[in-house]
Chain A
Amino acid sequence: AQSVAQPEDQVNVAEGNPLTVKCTYSVSGNPYLFWYVQYPNRGLQFLLKYITGDNLVKGSYGFEAEFNKSQTSFHLKKPSALVSDSALYFCAVRVAYSSASKIIFGSGTRLSIRP
């Protein structure tokens, strides 16, 4: 089955330190991968995507993600965390079916940045 997994429910990082939010995927064919962020009682905001090309993808708010085909991972990273980065982060993958496609989401990782 095609799926995406976020193994950590919560990640705690001190402000100024680097952060990593993990994501692994299982899809047939070439994966289209996404990261979204959700603030309380809000919809999702698009951060970045990997379709093809460079394995290191840069996105909004200083975030980046590294596509690793051999490890089937797409971890989200930021060199220096800010308190304002505290939010719920979702990894997602596009899956194709019939002549259409849809995005399915991981379970989410709550990122908490302490001052």
Chain B
Amino acid sequence: GAVVSQHPSRVICKSGTSVKIECRSLDFQATTMFWYRQFPKQSLMLMATSNEGSKATYEQGVEKDKFLINHASLTLSTLTVTSAHPEDSSFYICSARQGIETQYFGPGTRLLVL
């Protein structure tokens, strides 16, 4: 199946700093990528839909100025958590859509804000 990578897999940062997470589709081009957030023992919550060459579409309640998304190419989307706080600590997962329907997921990035 299609492969999606994320980098870094784990990051620890100080409160107030910004963190960038990369999501890459390794063997296919993805015009649409998605960013999810998952809290312990909970489901995935969609944060935003990232479209190559255009602005991301954010879900209700997600601050677009805090979670900056850039989809610069057909194989790369980035999520930047700006001025991170401890409550932003979570497991962030990206996915890339291949074709019309199927989404393939990255391995996730665990963010810990101290």
Contacts and interface: CB of A to CB of B under 8 A. Distances in A.
A46 B1 contact: yes
Contacts of B43: 90, 105-108
Contacts of A104: 46
Interface of B: 1, 4, 6, 32, 34, 42-44, 46, 49, 51, 57, 91, 93, 95, 101-108, 110
B110 A41 contact: yes
Is chain A's binding surface mostly helix, strand, loop or mixed?
A: strand
Contacts, number: 50
A83 interface: no
15 contacts: A41-B108, A41-B110, A42-B108, A43-B107, A44-B44, A44-B93, A44-B105, A49-B101, A51-B101, A90-B44, A94-B101, A100-B49, A103-B34, A103-B103, A108-B42
Interface residues of A, number: 21
Contacts of A34: 102-103
Contacts of A44: 44, 93, 95, 105
B46 A102 contact: yes
A51 to B, nearest CB: 6
